[in-house]
Amino acid sequence: MNVYSDEINKGYEIIKRHLEDVGLANRIYNIKIIDPLLIHNTFADHYGGLCFGLDIRSVQSSWEIVYTYKDLFDIIAHTEKTEEIFLDFNFSDLMSILLALVDGIKIEEENVLKHGLNETEYRKVAKRMHYNEKYGDPLF
């Protein structure tokens, strides 16, 4: 992995911050930096970005997101059966996509908790998860 100045790595830093803001950063895997100085088959004229894997409802997907020179975002989403390319998305559209992914993961996690615990235990765990999300984990 090459290390560049902050200006060249601008896309990576911006996208990483957005993933952290919506709570998706700790739920992704296979994180790779998209180098702005290397030629990409789909993306042109960008500050770089991030590639990562994400599983929702037993569907494996990989995402490539770059920050363009036009202050917009280009996105490629791959699943086992499809590939979607979204070009020139603004900030609010990107956040809508990321929040939809987070909502899907939370619904899946709640369903697993409901089936794995009785109702009383589920409520205790759900309250603690809500408290930790809002105020931070007291153990750290």
* pLDDT at residue 6 greater than cutoff 80: no
Q: What is the pLDDT of residue 65?
A: 92
Kind of pairing, strands 83-89 and 46-56?
A: unpaired
Q: Are 18 and 98 in contact (CB under 8 A)?
A: yes
pLDDT tens, position by position, 80-138: 889 888 888 899 899 998 999 888 888 887 877 777 766 777 777 777 777 777 666 55
- Does the predicted TM-score (pTM) go above 0.85? no
* pLDDT at residue 50 greater than cutoff 60: yes
Mean pLDDT of 13-20: 89
Q: What is the pLDDT of residue 137?
A: 58
User: Which of the pair, 9 or 65, is modelled with greater confidence?
Assistant: 65
Q: What is the pLDDT of residue 136?
A: 63
Report residue 14: phi and psi, to 5°.
-65, -45
Q: What is the pLDDT of residue 106?
A: 86
Q: Are 105 and 56 in contact (CB under 8 A)?
A: yes
**pLDDT class for 140, splitting at 50, 70, 90?**
very low
